[in-house]
Every structure is written in C-alpha cells, then in structure tokens.
Amino acid sequence: MKHIPFDSIYREEFEVVEQRNGHVSHYPHTDQLPLLWRALNLEFLAGLPDRFARVDRRGSGFDKLVRNRAALYFCTTLNGERKDQLRLYDLPDPDLVTRVSIVQQISTSEPLGRTHRFRFYGGEDFFTELRLSGKRVVFADHVLQRFSLRAPDRIGDDLTNLLVDFFGGPMISLPVGKSRAFIVGCNGSILAFTYRESAEEFFITTCLSINEINHLTLEPVAQAHNFHYGDTFTKPRFRTWLPAQWARENYQCWQNKAPFKVRRRNASPAAARKVNNWRWVGQQIRDVTLKSGHGPGSQICFVDQIPGPCLTTVKPGGEIPVYDELETYSEADANINLNAIFAQLEAEKAPPSRP
C-alpha cells in the first residue's frame, strides 16, 4: 500500500495513502481528497491576482479564460512531476470557472489484467467521472504502458500528458484496421486509442503512435463524441466545431506521417527557476493571454454547449460558432442522406460487455 509524503507547503508532515478494497485500489484515498484539495487550491489561488482568484459565475468571459489558462499551467507544467505521485487536472465547473482538481486513479485487478478509471475532485460540490457520449471510459493497463513508450514525455509526467491529450478536446473515432479508435492530436502528430464498446463503457485497449497505425479510413460521416459531466447524454445537432474537418486534418496528418514535435526545454537553470515559481508565473497569465489576442470582450463556452472538460473560446468581436452538422454534410454532398446515416448509427446495437 502506498504511503508517500504530501508535497505541499500548506500541509507538511502528511502522507498521501492508497485505499484498497479487495481487488480495487483508489489513489489517493477518498477520505483524504478534501484535505489534499484544500491545500493545493490554496497554493493555486495564492499565486493569482485577486481578480482571477475570486472569479465566479458572474465573471466576464475574459476573466474566466485567464483563470482557465492559469489552472492549465498550474496542473500540467508546474505539477506534472509531483513527488507524491498526485496528478492534477484543470476542469471548468458548470459556471465555466476552472478549478484545480485532483485525479483519483481507480485500479482494478481482473483475470485479464489491471484496468484503470479516473475521477476528478474539485471540491465537495464537484466530484466527477468524465463520461464520453454517455458511457464510462476504462483504460487497460496496457494503454498506460504503451503511452509512456510512444508519446514524447519526460519521465514522471506520462499520466498527466495522457489525461491532457485524451480528455482535452473534442473526440472523433475512425476505423483503424479491423477495429475503431479514438484519434487524438499530440505534439503535432496523432495517437490512436483502439477500443471496444459496450452498452455501458468504452474500454480502451491500446495506444498507437502514427508509426503503428497501418490502416486508417476516412469515413463520409465523422463519428463525433463528447466528454461531459453526469450520466445522461443527448447527441447535439448544433456544434461549435466541425467533426468532418477535424477528421480530415487528422487523416492528412496520418498520410504525411507527421512526427512528434520535441518539447522545448528551459534554456537555463535561471529560466527553469522562473517558470517553476508559481507566484511569479501566476502574475503573468493575464498579460500572456492578452498577447494571444484575447481581452475584454472575449467569450468562453462549453464545446457544443455541453458541460464538460472541453471549452470553446472566441476573441473580442467574434461570435460563438454554431454549425448545423446535417447542413454541413449536405452542402458538401447533396446526394448524402444524413438523416438516414445518423439514424442508423444511433440504432446500431453495441457489442456485448467485457467478461
């Protein structure tokens, strides 16, 4: 059983422990989550200007965007290699205020090997497991191992980057050989996560880099999926992104065999100390966001207006995009019967559950 010293200035001489119940383990222990989160949240908020530390549902789109980018940096760049093996993830709450959340890894030992699920704790009123189009997402242990080998990561932050890459944007699936896979962008290249689908879950079986994807098929209609909070899900017709364009771009990336881009390292020890100083970095997030073209008047919303981990942002003067998926495909091909295709996809029965 794990007993690892907690790495936080707000809670010293404390150990993070693992919770075990038969063949199932939770890390960190569920009872510890409120205490751990309070310490980490205090650390996060202490580095922000008061305006962004106190932002709530009444805040402007720009304020919420700055808060989102601050949380992303705090959770990934700054906390990607924690000594206590805790992993953090930035999640917007239903009011679009991004919170630092603690990732709870739930591992189960089964006859065919270990499996993993993830829950995210962002306070007593925000403890969620991200669903994909109404279904639970379960990873085989093989996925975590292959991701560590095939994605260009530093030692220690593989799980952080897996979570960011997999849960961080809209999702499409395409045929890979004789099975289907979720296609995810990663450092200028793509990864394919093959899966088996049942009525209750998507079971992710392995992770393939672009060199292991031998056959990828571009379909007339892209199968799009949404991450969301809660158990219920209704497939949207109006979207804030174009699944067909997303599919074409990833397919083109595969055709070109685009390699992973190498992550840049800090130029000097002095630069490393600067970017690892949260109180310094937290004060720069607003200016960095302004330099990217955002500012007062920027807008932020959930992807496809479905509360979940993925956001759409619009710069001042722009409008939140709204795409009618049926019209988009019909304009591209007048002979295609989208209603019939979508109806068929919805009517298809999922294969049996895993034993």
Residues 6+ apart with CB under 8 A from 348: none
Average pLDDT over residues 177-185: 94
pLDDT digits (tens, 9 = 90+) for 271-324: 566 677 899 999 999 999 999 999 999 999 999 999 999 999 999 999 999 998
| Full DSSP string of 25-89 | EEES-GGGHHHHHHHHHHHHHHTS-HHHHS--TTS-HHHHHHHHHHHHIIIIITTTT-TT--EEE
Instruction: Note the pLDDT of residue 353.
Output: 47
Structure tokens at 220: 């007339």
Per-residue confidence band for 343, with pLDDT thresholds at 50, 70 and 90: low
pTM (predicted TM-score): 0.89
| Full DSSP string of 111-167 | TTEEEEEEEEESSTT-EE--EETTBEEEEEHHHHHHHHHHS---TT-HHHHHHHHHH
| Full DSSP string of 290-342 | HHTT--TT-EEEEGGG--SS-EEEE-TT-----EEHHHHHHHH-TT--HHHHH
The more confidently predicted of residues 233 and 265 is 233
Structure tokens at 13: 């001489």
User: Cβ atoms within 10 A of the Cβ of 239, count?
Assistant: 21
Structure tokens at 89: 């993830």
Q: Is the pLDDT of residue 351 over 60?
A: no
Cβ(223)–Cβ(156) under 8 Å? no
Instruction: Note the pLDDT of residue 42.
Output: 96
